[in-house]
Every structure is written in structure tokens, then in C-alpha cells.
Amino acid sequence: MELRHLRYFVAVADAGGVSRAAARLNISQPALSRQIRDLEVELGVALFDRAGGRLVLTGEGEDLLVRGRQLLADAAALGQRAAALRGGDQGIIRVGVAPLTLEALLPRFLVRHQRRHPGIEVRLVEDSPSRLWAGVERGELTFAVSFPGHEGLGSRLLFPVCALAVMSYDCHLVRRATVDVADVTRERLLLPRSNFLTRQWFDTACRRAHLRPNIALESAAPHALIALARVGYGIAIVPSHTPFDPRGLRTAALVQQGKALGAWAAIAWDPNRFQPPFVQRFVEELTTYSRRSHPNRGLVPAKILPPRT
């Protein structure tokens, strides 16, 4: 069995069909179909059901997909170990990151890293936190940079993120450095959608205190919420690492019983996989950079930052 057969199998399973996988692999659809059939003949099992014009993994295919991913990850790790033993400083780092964290943290760091280590290629994958952690566990990603949910993985904390209340100077709450959830629920609120962790923290706090917020807008774009808050349309609730121009705005950390709503962002990896020195160095450099330069670090009072858990 050749590793390329496994790569093709995993690609078809991930893409959900031969045509999409062939486009991603840059090979013809008939050639890819032949490779999959050859692998099925060699293994002696059907990997996909082809009823109804769709490819669906068989039970055997689902089982072998897990092992195929592991073999591919082990092969990649073997190559990385060999490069490390040769003393080389060349390789690929695959980093998964949520969209807002990507915008807020990584651009300047990646430019610096590339200048210092020109032989290291950093490839980015943007996705939701749960899918990022799963990508690390499957060996598809070297790292994931996100928030809680990485139990069982190796990790380093990067920077704290809290929920911020962003308001115009006309708001009667502007003199406060912190604002309790109970106070903002009486105002017109501009909230991120439910897939944002900031929104989940806020909703949990409201349920805990039996509060019913006055929601004027839910948006997937924190900058749109801030734009409306700037003209006095309401109070925007956004994560503290959202990049924005604070001029003309007031911000206050959102708290409940004196504690900020928030968590620490982390970089996580699979501790059971070999990591060459350049990968370990990436972790150290990103940790140092983020502790010193994370976005809007001065907007949240240090005494109420979430604990390093």
C-alpha cells in the first residue's frame, strides 16, 4: 500500500465526493476514482457506498479512515523527525485559528516569524474552535489557537479575553470602568451571534441572574456592532481582542459579581506527536509575543482578568 492511496482516500472522505477531492488534489476525476477502487481491491473491503450517485463511507470505511489519518500523521511526523535529526530549519506548520483571533493576533507576528525563519512555512486554516481542536486530534493541524475546549491536548496560554461593553459618550454608563451584566440588560443591546464565545458567556450570565436582555441586533460582524454603538444606537458587547479605533467610544469590562466574563486564549497541540525544534520554537515565540502585544490589552483592568485556567 502506498501513502498516496491513503491521502486520496482521506481527501475523498473529507470532500464528500470524488469531483471535489479531485479539484483539491489537482488530478482528474477518473484517475482519482481508479486509485480509490485500487485501494478497495487491495484492502478487500468497500470503503464507500455509491448508491444514489453519492459517496458515503461504509462502516469499514469509517473505521479505516481513522487509522488512515493516523498513518498519514505518523508519516509526516517521521519526516519532521528526520529533518530535526539533520539539523534542518525547514518545514511546514499548520495553524488553525478562529477568524477574529486571526485578525487580532497573527498578522504582525507571522511577518516577524517569516523574517526570522524563512525556511518555515506557516499555513493557516480558519474554522470554529471545536473543529480546530478536532483537526489537531486528527493530525491535520499542528496547532489550534482558540479558547477552552482543548482538554487532553498540550497547551500554552496566550492572552486573556473578556467581554467588553462598548458605548458612545452619550450613554449614562460611560463613567464606569466595569459594568455589571444586570445594568446593560436594561439598555438596547447589540450582540454577537450565538456561535461567538462572548455571546455564550453573556447568555450564561443572564440565565444565572434570570435576566432578559433587550436585544436590538445580533450580528456575525463585531465591527458592525461597534459602528452602531459609536452613533449611540445601543451598547455593543464584543470580545476585548476585537481590533477597533477607540476614539469617540467608551469601553467597560462586563462583569458579574465583580468577575469579568472571559477566558484565556491558548495554543494547543497533540502531545503524543513528535514536534521538531522549529515547532517548539513557534510556540515559545507566539506565547512571548501574545503576552506582550495582544490587542486592546489596556482596556480590561488587570485585577478582574479571568484566571489562567
The domain 3-83 having CATH identifier 3.40.190.10: the answer here is no
**Residues of each domain in the chain carrying CATH 1.10.10.10:** 3-83
Q: Which residue has the higher pLDDT, 14 or 301?
A: 14
Q: Using one digit for the tens of pLDDT, what is the confidence trace for 33-51?
A: 888 888 888 888 888 887 6
φ/ψ region of 88 (left if φ > 0, alpha if ψ in -120 to 50, else beta) reads beta
Per-residue pLDDT reduced to its tens digit, 175-196? 888 999 999 999 999 999 998 9
End-to-end CA distance of the chain: 45
Report in angstroms the alpha-carbon separations of 175 from 22, 103, 171, 172, 263.
59, 30, 9, 8, 25
- Least confident range of 117-126, 129-138, 146-155, 199-208: 146-155
**Which residue ranges does the chain devote to CATH 3.40.190.10?**
89-158+263-300
Q: What is the mean pLDDT of residues 141-159?
A: 84
Percent residues over pLDDT 90 in the chain = 38
pLDDT of residue 246: 87
- SS3 per-residue string spanning the chain: CCHHHHHHHHHHHHHCCHHHHHHHHCCCHHHHHHHHHHHHHHHCCCCEECHHHCCEECHHHHHHHHHHHHHHHHHHHHHHHHHHHCCCCCEEEEEEECHHHHHHHHHHHHHHHHHHCCCEEEEEEECCHHHHHHHHHCCCCCEEEECCCCCCCEEEEEEEEEEEEEEECCCCCCCCCEEEHHHHCCCEEEEECCCCHHHHHHHHHHHHCCCCCEEEEEECCHHHHHHHHHCCCCEEEEECCCCCCCCCEEEEEEEECCEECEEEEEEEECCCCCCCHHHHHHHHHHHHHHHHHCCCCCCCCHHHCCCCC
Residue with cell 483537526: 135
pLDDT band at 83 (very low <50, low <70, confident <90, very high): low
Phi then psi for residue 119, to 5 deg, are -85, -5
Residue 8 half-sphere exposure, CB side, CA atoms within 13 Å? 25
Residue 88 has pLDDT above 70, yes or no: no
What CATH number was assigned to the domain covering residues 161-262? 3.40.190.290
- The model's pTM: 0.69
- Asked if residues 15 and 24 have their Cβ atoms less than 8 Å apart, the reply is yes
Torsion of CA 236, 238, 242, 243, to 10 degrees: 10
Rounded Cα–Cα distance for residues 239 and 164 (Å): 6
Q: Is a pLDDT exceeding 70 seen at residue 284?
A: yes
Residue with cell 450582540: 191
Cβ atoms 260, 299 nearer than 8 A: no
Average pLDDT of every residue of the chain: 86
The per-residue pLDDT for range 285-305, each reduced to its tens digit, is 999 999 888 777 777 666 656
Residue 303's pLDDT is 61
For residue 228, which of 184, 254, 193, 190 has the smallest C-alpha distance? Answer: 190
Q: What is the pLDDT of residue 292?
A: 85
Residue 158 phi, psi dihedral angles, 5° rounding: -110, -60
pLDDT-derived band at 57, boundaries 50, 70, 90: confident
Q: Pinpoint the residues of the chain covered by CATH 3.40.190.290.
A: 161-262
Would the pLDDT of 1 be above 70? no
pLDDT over threshold 70, residue 131? yes
Q: Is the pLDDT of residue 277 over 90?
A: no
Q: How confident is the model at residue 225 (pLDDT cuts 50, 70, 90)?
A: very high
For residue 100, is pLDDT > 60? yes
pLDDT at 192: 96
Q: For the residues 93-119, what does the mean pLDDT come to? A: 92
| Least confident range of 67-71, 135-139, 157-161, 300-304 | 300-304
Task: For domain 89-158+263-300, give its CATH number from 3.40.190.10, 3.30.70.3190, 3.40.50.970, 3.30.420.40.
Answer: 3.40.190.10
